[in-house]
Amino acid sequence: MNIRQNSKVIAFVMVIIIVTGVYINSTTNQSEVVIYTSVDQIYSEPVLENFEAITGIKVKAVYDVEAAKTTGLVNRLIAEKGNPLADVWWNGEIAQTILLKEEGVLTPYSSPEANGIPSAYIDMDGYWTGFGGRARVLLVNTDMVSPEDYPESIFDLVGYIENGYSVGIAYPVFGTTATHVAALYAELGLEDAEQFLMDLKEVGVLVLDGNGVVRDRVAQGMIEMGLTDTDDSIGAIERGSPVEMVFLDQGYGQMGTLKIPNTVGMVKEGPNPDEAKMLIDYLLSERNVADLVDSGWFQLPLRDINVNQEYFDASGVKGMDVNYVEVYEFIEQAKKDMAEIFVR
């Protein structure tokens, strides 16, 4: 091989080395973000894949294990506080997010995409933001109850039971029913809220094993109505059951119904802060909220945006004007009281 040929070979090899080096460097240094989420993977994974496709940022997601519910990831975040592995926390509810703020796991970030979200759904210090979710409703069997006979207020239920209607609630020590009771504590005060629940117990409200059981009993005509969530209710409607959702306390001067938002927060000293902010911005965006309504994970946006909600007017639902931090502070007291009142 002559000197010229040898030079060409060397030059070609150098090009290969340089190109390969650039490729390796670009792949190993690809931007990434780590998110822990309690949201069902069937709903959260497509959202994260969309973000990845749009931004090119690799998303590493840790999903909740059903057996551990939200508590498993919350405990993991607390345990990792000294050496955070996650960047973003996306929660299907709010209480555990407030706990993470109290434990020093989260750090403030005020996203520009939160514009239009009512202040009630945004932490006053910027540690978390609510961006859509579900609401508490009364599910009514339409074969058993005429529309003109629907209750208008949650407080009507005591009289309805006295008049022979069967009304079910989930055991109010767990889940959204416990949160609903805590919201009543925050709205009415301890004494009045506890008296209302004691009245329900006294007249014979049916205490069932969960919101899904309440839904199924109503859908099957075993009871006439029951308190549950919008997501459970829509499931019954989509299966063709003879049911209708009633949003209680919607009139002038009435307190509204409880809305339960998803929340997102930024993990303190997470490894990828810039990417974390971009992902939070995307999650809070109107486009993503609309997509989550379309997918069925959200039933309600928390702000006035155009969404395709075919089962009710999402913009017309009046929520309770409660401080969610105060609701959180009442939860343990509410659970303790409800365990005593509805002893099993």
Q: Is residue 11 over pLDDT 90?
A: no
Q: Is 86 domain-assigned? A: yes
> Do both 179 and 243 map to the same domain?
yes
Which residues span the domain enclosing 59? 28-132+260-309
> Do both 178 and 56 map to the same domain?
no
Q: Is 9 domain-assigned? A: no
> Do both 88 and 49 map to the same domain?
yes
> Do both 239 and 277 map to the same domain?
no
Q: Is 195 domain-assigned? A: yes
> Do both 145 and 253 map to the same domain?
yes
Q: How many domains does the chain fold into?
A: 2
- Round to whole Å and give the CA distance between 96 and 89: 11
pTM of the model: 0.84
Q: What is the pLDDT of residue 5?
A: 45
Confidence of residue 72 (pLDDT cuts 50, 70, 90): confident
Q: Is 81 domain-assigned? A: yes
Q: What is the pLDDT of residue 325?
A: 94
> Do both 215 and 70 map to the same domain?
no
Region 251-260 average pLDDT: 96
> Do both 333 and 201 map to the same domain?
yes
> Do both 221 and 270 map to the same domain?
no
Residue 208's domain is classified under what CATH number? 3.40.190.10
Q: Is residue 249 over pLDDT 50?
A: yes
Q: What is the pLDDT of residue 18?
A: 33
> Do both 197 and 209 map to the same domain?
yes
Q: Is residue 21 over pLDDT 80?
A: no
> Do both 266 and 247 map to the same domain?
no
Q: Is 296 domain-assigned? A: yes
Q: What is the pLDDT of residue 69?
A: 54
pLDDT tens-digit profile of 25-71? Answer: 334 467 999 999 999 999 999 999 999 999 999 999 999 875 555 67
> Do both 173 and 206 map to the same domain?
yes
Q: Is 10 domain-assigned? A: no
Q: What is the pLDDT of residue 113?
A: 97
Q: Is 88 domain-assigned? A: yes
Confidence of residue 197 (pLDDT cuts 50, 70, 90): very high
Q: What is the pLDDT of residue 66?
A: 56
Q: Is 192 domain-assigned? A: yes
Q: What is the pLDDT of residue 13?
A: 37
Q: What is the pLDDT of residue 253?
A: 93
> Do both 225 and 156 map to the same domain?
yes
pLDDT tens-digit profile of 290-339? Answer: 999 999 999 999 998 888 788 888 888 999 999 999 999 999 999 999 99
